[in-house]
Amino acid sequence: MEFVTYEVNDRVGIITINREKALNALNSQVLDELSEAFDGVDLSEIRCLILTGAGEKSFVAGADIGEMSNLSKSEGEAFGKKGNDLFRKIETFPIPVIAAVNGFALGGGCEISMSCDIRICSDNAVFGQPEVGLGITPGFGGTQRLARLVSPGMAKQLIYTARNIKADEAYRIGLVNKVVSAEELMPEALKMAAGIAANAPIAVRACKKAINDGLQTDMDKAIVIEEKLFGSCFETEDQKAAMANFLEKDKEKKLKVVPFKNM
Ligand code: DAK
């Protein structure tokens, strides 16, 4: 792949968008390669992913404006679908995905970070949805995910004004989970990912599915989703081993790697 790299650090996979000259802007090729990288993750080994951008200046400075500038209506729809399919793939990916936001996260960059489960950013990060200044709406789910993540009022303010916000404000409104220095960004993301990877993998996946699916429905149905996933954990070796370890007061025993199944 030309613009995306993938590496493995113990049980954590790191996907890097590597198109630094264009501040990691998302063109069709980057979207295709990202999709391929996610498809290639070995889910029997990897328990958490980190998505980041190459360099210290930009995570992703948006969809590629050069490529978008000459799109026809049908081409625009096709480009939107390519992005939306990828972003849903990330959002519903069986294991957690942490966005390590190393600088600009504008337009499609902010949107791809919001399709991840958790966002950690460097203190030079800048978030925003500048689309209305370019004559378009956010096209990769920004209107939907920002409103759900922060609040409808704050999302409307940011989207209508096209105003960029710095890391501290992104943290204050709940768009990012944590702000660290640029040097600390990857160590912090890896530390959080390792913490997730140390827990029972099927239970972690079930939590992601319960939260995601539950948010799409009303509370009565959402609670049933949780019940079913909770019940399914009692068919796992992790549940039996982890509870036995607790009862035997042997907290040092490690959880086994259990392949993902039936979820
Ligand atoms: N696309 C293409 N190239 C970009 C880019 C982008 N989004 N952002 C930066 N670059 C390129 C620049 O053109 C420049 O290339 P060269 O001139 O060196 O060849 C290089 O990256 C360095 O950028 P600058 O020279 O501009 O660097 P500065 O430090 O001066 O400024 C900046 C950094 C991030 C403030 C600035 O580059 C900037 O404003 N970039 C654009 C940010 C932006 O507006 N992003 C949102 C794009 S709109 C849809 C699907 C998707 C979308 C919408 C609809 N559907 C199909 C419905 C998504 C839309 C967006 O994401």
Q: Is 177 exposed, middle or buried (0-12, 13-18, 19+ CB in 10 A)?
A: middle
The secondary element (H helix, E strand) that includes residue 168 is helix 167-172
Which atom of ligand 1 is the closest one to the Cα of 109?
Answer: 61
d(CA 100, ligand 1 centre) in Å: 19
Domain boundaries, the chain: 4-197, 201-256
d(CA 104, ligand 1 centre) in Å: 10
3-class state of residue 19 by DSSP: coil
State the 10-residue block means of pLDDT for the chain, 263 residues long.
Answer: 97 98 97 98 97 98 94 92 96 98 98 98 98 94 96 98 98 98 98 96 97 97 98 93 85 55 45
Q: Please choose from 65, 131, 145, 159 the residue to mutate so as to test ligand 1's pocket, defined by most ligand atoms within 8 A of CB.
A: 65
Record: fold of 4-197? 2-enoyl-CoA Hydratase; Chain A, domain 1 (3.90.226)
Which one-letter amino acid corresponds to residue 102? N
pLDDT for residue 251: 63
Ligand 1 contact via 64 beta carbon (within 6 Å): yes
What's the rounded Cα separation, in Å, for the pair 200 and 233? 10
pLDDT for residue 125: 98
pLDDT for residue 177: 98
What's the rounded Cα separation, in Å, for the pair 144 and 69? 24
CA angle 62, 194, 209 (to 5 degrees): 65
Record: fold of 201-256? Lyase 2-enoyl-coa Hydratase; Chain  A, domain 2 (1.10.12)
pLDDT for residue 249: 80
The secondary element (H helix, E strand) that includes residue 129 is none
pLDDT for residue 34: 98
Ligand 1 contact via 30 beta carbon (within 6 Å): no
